[in-house]
């Protein structure tokens, strides 16, 4: 029965999001400084702002996605390849909607330049999200109750 599936706790979701964003801020800031010969403090601040937006989105998005899985009898930490890809792409699409206006303003870019940049970043982050979530699910699995007393 779908109601017997145990999902991540609030603490576990917070740990996931903080680890995910912390590693990503370091990677993103370094990449931005190298690609745009930008100022470390400005690129770092942009990374932190985008990370805070993503952190809030991450917490809500993962709760909703897990709840959707449970509603259909799927265990969130045992997602199929298709489920993991859909999770990563859906999360990044949500972030594009939220992050492009910030990038336009911060970098003083036009909309198309910000969209192109965000699309490139999104492609890299989708891959990162897939592998990070897979690793996280293996390192911090959610133990499911035994069926039929086994």
Name the band, by pLDDT with cuts 50, 70 and 90, for residue 88.
confident
Within-domain flag for 44: yes
Within-domain flag for 147: no
Within-domain flag for 2: no
State both tokens at 40.
């470390």
Within-domain flag for 149: no
Residues 6 or more apart in contact with residue 69 via CB below 8 angstroms: 5, 7, 75, 76, 79, 83
pLDDT > 70: what percent of the chain?
95
For 18, phi then psi, to 5°, come to: -65, -45
pLDDT at 1: 47
Mean pLDDT, rounded, for 14-28? 90
Within-domain flag for 114: yes
Count the domains in the chain. Answer: 1
Question: What does pLDDT average to over the chain?
Answer: 87
Residues 6 or more apart in contact with residue 45 via CB below 8 angstroms: none
pLDDT in tens, 102-126: 999 999 999 999 999 988 888 888 8
Within-domain flag for 73: yes
Question: Is pLDDT above 60 for 150?
Answer: no
Name the band, by pLDDT with cuts 50, 70 and 90, for residue 128.
very high
Within-domain flag for 102: yes
Domain that holds residue 67: 8-140
Within-domain flag for 90: yes
pLDDT at 10: 85
Helix/strand/coil (H/E/C) assignment for every residue in 79-97: CCHHHHHHHHHHHHHHHHH
């Amino acid at each position: 029965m779908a109601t017997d599936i145990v999902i991540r706790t609030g603490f576990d979701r917070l740990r996931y999001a903080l680890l995910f964003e912390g590693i990503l801020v370091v990677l993103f800031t370094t990449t931005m400084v190298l690609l745009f010969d930008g100022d470390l403090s400005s690129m770092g601040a942009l990374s932190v702002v985008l990370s805070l937006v993503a952190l809030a989105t991450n917490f809500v998005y993962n709760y909703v996605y897990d709840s959707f899985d449970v509603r259909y009898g799927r265990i969130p930490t045992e997602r199929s390849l298709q489920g993991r890809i859909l999770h990563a792409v859906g999360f990044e699409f949500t972030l594009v909607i939220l992050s492009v206006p910030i990038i336009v303003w911060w970098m003083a870019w036009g909309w198309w330049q910000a969209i192109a940049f965000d699309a490139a970043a999104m492609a890299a982050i989708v891959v990162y999200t897939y592998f990070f979530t897979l690793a996280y699910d293996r390192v911090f699995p959610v133990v499911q109750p035994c069926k039929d007393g086994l």
